[in-house]
Amino acid sequence: MTLTRPFGLAAAALALALLYALPAIAPRAVVQDLFGILTLLVLAMNWNMLAGFAGLVSVGQQAFVGIGAYAMFAAIILMGLDPLVGVLIGGLAAAAFAVPMAFFAFRLNGAYFAIGTWVVADIARLGISQWKALGGGTGTSLPKGTAKDMAFVGQIKDMLDVSSAAAADALTYWLMLSLAVAMLVASYVFLRSRMGLGLQAIRDNENAARSVGVDPVKLKALVFLLAAFGTGLCGALAFIQITRVTPDAAFSVIDWTAFVIFITVIGGIGTLPGPIVGVIVFYILQRALADYGTIYLIVLGCLGIVVMLFARRGLWDMFTDRTGIDLMPLTHRPPQGSLPRPKPSRRAA
């Protein structure tokens, strides 16, 4: 294990460098393809923080994607701002929406929470459909050439020597990739911190965590807000590339929540590399079964069920159990000093 872990980390760093270099070496279609995959990855990481670590099984994440997308469109069309500023506004708008949503949903437990968040997301969809300035129920498109006029697109165009459209794709791709990396690093740091430890203690045993002074509501609310922000950023960024928004597409429970849940579950819920493994499996399945249409979704659904029945913690956990390799361990080893102080661990249920 002492040897394999640095090796694994080096491999991961190499893969990351390759991913960053991709727009310079791969055709545009591949970059666009990977952009879609990275979008799902970021959403899955956010959902994993909620359901896997904070115990908040939300079925309403499409609310934040939709609000992020619509806020970005509003910033561009109604206020004439740069799309990148629009993305930031999208994230902030989603986080702002999460505040009243949390006040309502946090009164509900477990299953009620899942349904409650779903209903709130549907309210957001129906509410946005009434916003006539952004096309109401039929939606609207970005003004022609918006993506090409984005900040930095000119420089990237010169640097890579490609068309403006390809440069815009490269920019959104890099931003999404950076968002994914930032999410991963931030989640790791957060979960290794005192607050993260408290969060996992709550998930394992809420009463015990409370008795040692952890405030569950405060921590969960914080994670809920941060996940809303991340999901909103991701949604806004995704819709720059889609260029057209409708309430049904932006608030789609299948595209933005169902797929994301399957990805997380198959890869390994409650583990950091889980969503990455899940998204790779998802991508392979998508490529292999793309010609069969509905069969692909049936296979995905069955796979999700099988994982829940036989390997509840997903593929990544199966891998760490068999090999002992854990690239992002969240467990704490007991201190080696003369005064052993017990600390709660990941599996201290």
Partner 1 sequence: MILVDTLAQGLLLGGLYALFAAGLSLVFGIMRLVNLAHGDLIILGAYLILTISTVTGLHPFLAVLLAAPLMFGLGWLLQTHILNRVLGTDILPPLLVTFGLSVVIQNGLLAGFTADSQKLTAGPIEAASVNLGVVTLGVMPVLTFASAVAVVFALNQLFYRTALGRAFRATSDDAVTAQLMGIRPQSIFAIATGLALVVATIAALFLGTRANFDPSIGPARLLYAFEAVIIGGLGSLWGTLAGGIVIGMAQALGASVNPEWQILSGHIAFVLVLLIRPRGLFPRAND
Residues near partner 1 (CB under 8 A) are 51, 57, 104, 107-112, 114-116, 118-120, 122-123, 126-127, 129-130, 137, 253, 258, 261-262, 265, 269, 294-295, 297-298, 300-305, 308-309, 312
Q: Phi/psi at 242 (nearest 5 deg)? A: -70, -30
Report in angstroms how near the CB of residue 241 gets to partner 1 at its nearest. Answer: 26
CA distances from 5 to 27, 270, 300, 324, 329 (A): 33, 20, 31, 10, 10
Instruction: Please state the closest distance from residue 13 (CB atom) to partner 1, in A.
Output: 33
Q: Which is nearer to partner 1, 239 or 262 (CB)?
A: 262
* Shorter beta-carbon distance to partner 1: residue 127 or 334: 127
CB-count exposure of residue 337 (10 Å: 0-12, 13-18, 19+): exposed
C-beta closer to partner 1: residue 118 or 256: 118
In this complex, which beta carbon is closest to partner 1, that of residue 185 or of residue 308? Answer: 308
| CB contact set of 220 (below 8 Å; sequence gap of 6+) | 54, 55, 56, 106, 199, 202
Rounded Cα distance, 70 and 245, in Å? 8
Residues contacting residue 155 through CB under 8 Å, at least 6 positions apart:
none
What ranges make up the beta strands (E) of 113-208? 140-141
Q: Coil, strand, or helix at residue 141?
A: strand
Residues whose CB is less than 8 angstroms from the CB of residue 305 and which lie 6 or more positions away in sequence, other chains included: none
Closer to partner 1 at the Cβ: 120 or 153?
120
**Least Cβ distance, residue 12 to partner 1 (angstroms):** 28
Q: Output the smallest distance, CB 107 to partner 1, in A.
A: 5
Q: What is the CB-side half-sphere exposure of residue 341 using CA atoms within 13 A?
A: 3
**Closest separation between CB of residue 311 and partner 1, Å?**
11
Q: Which is nearer to partner 1, 51 or 93 (CB)?
A: 51
Nearest approach, Cβ of 48 to partner 1 (angstroms)? Answer: 12
Using DSSP's 3-state secondary structure scheme, residue 262 falls into helix
